[in-house]
Chain A
Amino acid sequence: MNQSAYRARRAITVSAVMFILAIVVIIIGLNTGTIRLSPLAVWQTLMGGGTTEEQMILFDYRLPRILVTMLGGIGLGVAGAVLQGVSRNALADPGILGLHAGAAFGLIVFVSFFRTMEGSLAMLIPMFTFAGGSVIAIIIILLAYDRQRGIMPIRLILVGIAIEAGVSAITLFLSLKLDPDTYAFAARWLAGSVWGRDWINVWALLPWIVILVPIIYLKSKTLDLFSFGDEIASGVGSSVTRNRLLMIILAVALSCASVSMTGGIGFIGLVAPHLARRLAGPQHRYFLPAAASIGLVILVAADTIGRSIFQPNAIPAGVIVALIGGPYFLYMLFRKKV
């Protein structure tokens, strides 16, 4: 009893700190760019004041991009947490598992057919990336499935690596057929450059996050049960296979929708849940919100760094995240016995 009170208090502290951190990062992000806006000006503009120019910069450029980045970070952080919980594999990450390669494949198919990413067509993109990611997820799960032992966590990673290599080769081939402009876009997308900069992109991503994240949160208890192992989980009366499948579908949908607007960003789904678990403990109802907010902070920060430090050509956020997340992954890999 005492311990759970302690955990709750700790979780609240962590959430509060993360919330403040997120606000700080968002403010820095909003005020960074070719034209600087002071936090005060941002505030005044948000409250309806500000010059027309300030309003245009904020509402037409900065705000939609920041919102897309925030939503994407939340989506990737939560998706990674769910995948790790479901597979009981600390190394699970939507990128490493090959889901992003599938999403990328979906996106390339989309651009090859529709030739454009502008306007209301953007609403369709999450569908395509989700379709691509789902196909890959199904293939990986089928291949990692063992009749006696269920889904084998390590095999999941190995299969993911192989499928990723194969699908990326085909995606690369398809992308070479694109005309230079579309190709330049696709390449940036693949490298994880936040391209969703318009309100339409925010509206395309928002429903996925707003609907899926709460559903996952309500399932916190189920996710906790997975960590005890299949036998105990089914002993408690939870239908393990069905729940696992449901959670995987939700995670795939969440990560594919997120990358559809932010580009193929890996490693957030790995790093955010880990840090969250360390800070907020292993119970999902405490650490899911932490994972979401850490994902948000990382992605917004990476995007801000990428577009501000490397002027005039921006570096995709995915590169920045890989530079931080990759070494972290290696550290994880070598810290414990595999």
Chain B
Amino acid sequence: MKWNKGYTISLSLIAGCAWLVFSLFIAVSGGAKEIDLHAVWTAVFDYNASLTPHQIIHELRLPRVLGAALTGMAFAVAGAIMQGVTRNPMADTGLLGVNAGAAFVVALCFALLPALSYSQLMLLSFVGAALSTLFIMLLGSAAPGGLTSLRLTIAGAVVAAILHSLSTGIAIYFDLSQDLAFWYAGGVAGIKWMHLKLLAPVILAGLAGAMLLGRPITFLSLGEEAATGLGIKTARIRILGLLIAVVLAGASVSAAGSIAFVGLVIPHIARRIVGVDYRFVLPFSALLGGSLLVWADYASRMVNPPREFAIGAMVAMVGVPFFLYLARKERREL
């Protein structure tokens, strides 16, 4: 029995890796200009700057697709952590207002400090994400009856609504609403190597940190008492976990805009396949989340070329039905 389960998990992880790599190749080869896989392969491993397809791949497609994969991983793992530590099946950085906090600060920066460098923008977007998370958590725990998942979800949605309203107010006041809207709609089209150089280390570090927390998060997700009984310092793990989620969400929002639902959908699918142990849920969520955004970005380019569809809307088309399914399933709680 035990052997059987381990077998499923390792097979799933290997299949997940293969799926992600496959998705990356397909996404790089497809677009306004179709480039065959052979050219993709040589462009990556045998780059020749004098060939146009190679240039397209190297300068445009590759950073974009890698950006999609990284942000997808980050959103999915952040969602998984939040679901684990808050024990809220509806947790998602987009729905809980974490993205909105980051986006609000980015809007402020667009308006007041347009000369900021990308790394500074990213740093400030962490601050925004952290503040809104802190705020929502404090609100939740201050209430009578504690941090119920329902209250957390509604509070998150309302905080997100307030912050979003403020962001658009700032955008309108400073006459930059369409710039901000393009950014807010979520898109990895603008990601260049320069951004990736900053984004990749942060996200990879965040992912690594998350993996280290896998075991304690598993116990936390089983319940406060069980975790304490096993000698887990619950408060510390919760804070560390949320901190990592904030770093992951903040970095992704600064790069790709606010994309909701990835962190909601992916961890549920991951748990369904590899079980409740977060040591496996987290890496598997990363693989699936990365592939999801790569495909969503690919689809957003292919639906109506050469125009692009907003990637956030693409993900919402999967995410909304899924959320509704969850809302119906969580019968006892609702």
Contact = CB atoms under 8 A, between A and B. Distances in A.
A188 interface: yes
Contacts of B90: 158
Query: Interface majority SS on B: helix, strand, loop or mixed?
Result: helix
A113 interface: no
B177 A337 contact: no
Interface in B283-319: 307, 309-310, 312-313, 315-317, 319
B320 A165 contact: yes
Interface stretch (A9-17, A235-243, A323-331): A323-331
Interface string A296-330: 00000000000000100101101100110011011
B148 A338 contact: yes
A333 interface: yes
Contacts of B334: 152, 154-155, 158
Query: Interface majority SS on A: helix, strand, loop or mixed?
Result: helix
A24 interface: no
* Among B139, B143, B161, B328, residue most surrounded by chain A Cβ atoms (within 10 Å): B161
A108 B168 CA distance: 17
Contacts of A96: 157-158, 161
A180 B316 contact: no
Interface in B144-162: 144-145, 148, 150-151, 153-155, 157-159, 161-162
Interface string A169-200: 11011011100100110011011110000000
Contact of A163 (B139, B182, B320): B320
Interface size, A (range):
35 or more
A264 to B, nearest CB: 9
A125 to B, nearest CB: 20
Given A155-B327, A162-B323, A173-B309, A180 B178 contact: yes
A181 to B, nearest CB: 10
Interface residues of B, number: 51
Interface string A111-143: 000000000000000000000000000000001
B208 interface: no
Contacts of B150: 154, 158, 338
* Among A169, A172, A191, A329, residue most surrounded by chain B Cβ atoms (within 10 Å): A169
Contact of A315 (B148, B159, B173): B173
Nearest to B310: A173
* Among B139, B154, B310, B334, residue most surrounded by chain A Cβ atoms (within 10 Å): B154
Contacts of A319: 165-166, 168-169
A135 to B, nearest CB: 14
A184 B169 contact: no
A159 interface: yes
* Among B153, B174, B177, B260, residue most surrounded by chain A Cβ atoms (within 10 Å): B177
Contact of A187 (B148, B177, B185, B261): B177
10 interchain residue pairs of minimum CB distance: A319-B169, A166-B320, A326-B162, A322-B165, A334-B143, A169-B313, A173-B310, A162-B323, A191-B168, A169-B316
5 contacts: A96-B157, A163-B324, A173-B313, A187-B172, A323-B165
